[in-house]
Structure 1
Amino acid sequence: MGSPVAFTCLLVALSTLGGNHSVSAGCSGRCCRGRDLSCLTTGWRMDRTHGTCYCDEGCARTRDCCFDYFTECPAQDCAVSGWSYWSGCAAACQASVRVRVRHVEQRPSNSGEPCPSLEQRSGCMEYRDRGGVRCVLNSGPAFITSMEFGKGRPKHDNYGNPLDPGFCVEFTLETRTPHCTVENRPHTHWMRYIAEGFKVCVACEPPAMHNSGSCQGDGLESEKEALLHWQAVGNHQCSGTWKKIRRTQRCTCPPQHSFVFI
């Protein structure tokens, strides 16, 4: 048992802290969601004053929580599942969009972190129609998208054999429409990095690579100073021109200036 002096000091401290008020009042069993003005009690607040205090999710912002809010009502962040597989393209034989989703496994509570986006979209292109026949593509501009898209492409065929890794083409970006920078949908943010005068790298990989060993609009058969056209997949209004610099084995540009042919 502790000394009488220590025990007396403890009683004096509790008496000084509490006065005529009980320190037991708090948030136990009172945690409420949102901002709820009826979710209150009378007790010690976090600012060390005694009076009306709250146990709702808004009290941390308004600074009128009961003293034990964060221990009795711990924050729980939103928890989400992993991403699903990417869907197929919305349309075959033309530039379109693919989607992947995730779902909420735990809703946030007590001022926990809110849920992030549950859907992602990306530009894409399928080279076979719904019957499995390879598409006949007309010559036209180079369709491009973010290098992130290329990471999801298969590296082996159905028999496990490695596919041709392809190549990279470097271009000097000459012009681009204003729509590339004002577009604000999540799957088009990469277009903001398309800036005039910069060197960009564009990968030509299967399945965008034709049997001829080239990609649509890659400019390999064009003169070096020829002005070639490109268009961003996911926003048909983002387009422009570029000039070919050279073909390389792999892309060496910074990530924000690296793209893939679709």
Structure 2
Amino acid sequence: MGTSVELVYLLLVLYSLGQCAFGGCAGKCCRGKDRHCLTTDWRMDRVYGTCYCDEGCGQTRDCCFDYFTECPAQDCVVSEWSFWSGCAKLCQPSQRVRVRHTERQPSYSGEPCPALEQRAGCREYRDNKGKPCGANSGPAFITSMEFAKGRPKHDSYGNPLHPGFCVEFMLESRTPHCSLQNRPHTHWMRYITEGFRVCVACEPPAMRNSSRCQGDGQDAHKEALLHWQALGSPQCGGTWRRVQKSKHCSCPPQHSFVFI
């Protein structure tokens, strides 16, 4: 009698080991929530019985013991960003766009795909016939100093362009919308804070034939209250007072911008 009990116990142990060896989810991984994607085996909470191998079992906590081994999470994979497009409109502030595509969809609770499109403010200086845009009046349009890295330093003949100059302003006011920017390429607007001094570079191609930039305040009297607007967000704008003009910008990077 004792031998029979021991034999039954041995068989149960071998059965359990066999189940562990082959895995409850081996070949049974299912996408999404699928309550038909089940088997009978040890669960992750060490209870033997019905367990699941679908992506939803992680939330319901009834996965088979080997779910994360047999059904490893795969994060979304996306391509590199494309080049920025041209501006949507010519001779006025508008937007440019760049895109990327999904190379692998996420699976088994992997990280979801990030945004596949980004938009940023931009401005063209020539019309569709290649002629320079006419002079515009209005506020100073500014963007991040990062934008200046992509500007040409030489003309089409290889001659160096005018190095430009820098204007220092004291910020008097800004709209609340500036601090609410969460999109990539608009985070810089958060650093436009009342009471701070900012440096704004006037460089080609924003520099006009008169060696000036729109809204630089060169013709304004010393205490004049001037208007500015962040390119890429019409709701982010405010006023500032011109402090001084210099050859080079000396403000911290987060308080340095460029005229557009």
- TM-score w.r.t. the length of structure 2 is 0.85
Distance 1:157 1:53, change over 3 A: farther
Distance 1:29 1:123, change over 3 A: same
Distance 1:63 1:249, change over 3 A: farther
Gap regions ≥5 residues in structure 1: 1-10
> Does the alignment pair 1:81 with 2:94?
no
Which residue in the other structure is 1:166 paired with? Answer: 164
Match of 2:34 among 33, 36, 39: 36
Q: How many angstroms does 1:192 deviate by? A: 3.0
> Mean alpha-carbon deviation: is it higher for 200-209 or for 249-258?
249-258
Matched residue of 2:150: which SS? coil
Q: How many pairs were matched up?
A: 250
Match of 2:13 among 15, 36, 57: 15
**Percentage of matched positions with identical amino acids:** 71
> Does the alignment pair 1:193 with 2:203?
no
Paired residues of 1:143 and 1:232 also in contact (CA < 8 A): yes
- TM-score w.r.t. the length of structure 1 is 0.85
Match of 1:236 among 234, 237, 252: 234
Which residue in the other structure is 2:147 paired with? Answer: 149
Matched residue of 2:129: which SS? coil
Q: How many angstroms does 1:185 deviate by? A: 5.3
Which residue in the other structure is 1:63 paired with? Answer: 61
Say what the alpha-carbon RMSD is for the aligned residues: 2.5
CA deviation profile, 1:64-104 (whole Å, cap 9, x unmatched): 22121122111111111111111111111111111111111
Match of 1:104 among 93, 102, 105: 102
Paired residues of 1:25 and 1:44 also in contact (CA < 8 A): no
Paired residues of 1:190 and 1:256 also in contact (CA < 8 A): yes
Match of 2:200 among 190, 198, 202: 202
Q: How many angstroms does 1:25 deviate by? A: 4.3
Q: How many angstroms does 1:174 deviate by? A: 0.3
Matched residue of 1:77: which SS? coil
Which residue in the other structure is 2:5 paired with? Answer: none
> Mean alpha-carbon deviation: is it higher for 101-110 or for 201-210?
201-210
Match of 2:211 among 194, 210, 213: 213
Q: How many angstroms does 1:152 deviate by? A: 2.7
Q: In 2, distance between residues paired with 1:127 and 1:183?
A: 26
CA deviation profile, 1:196-243 (whole Å, cap 9, x unmatched): 111122122211111222211112343332211111222223221101
Which residue in the other structure is 2:90 paired with? Answer: 92
> Mean alpha-carbon deviation: is it higher for 132-141 or for 241-250?
241-250
Q: In 1, distance between residues paired with 2:59 and 2:251?
A: 45
Q: In 2, distance between residues paired with 1:211 and 1:127?
A: 12
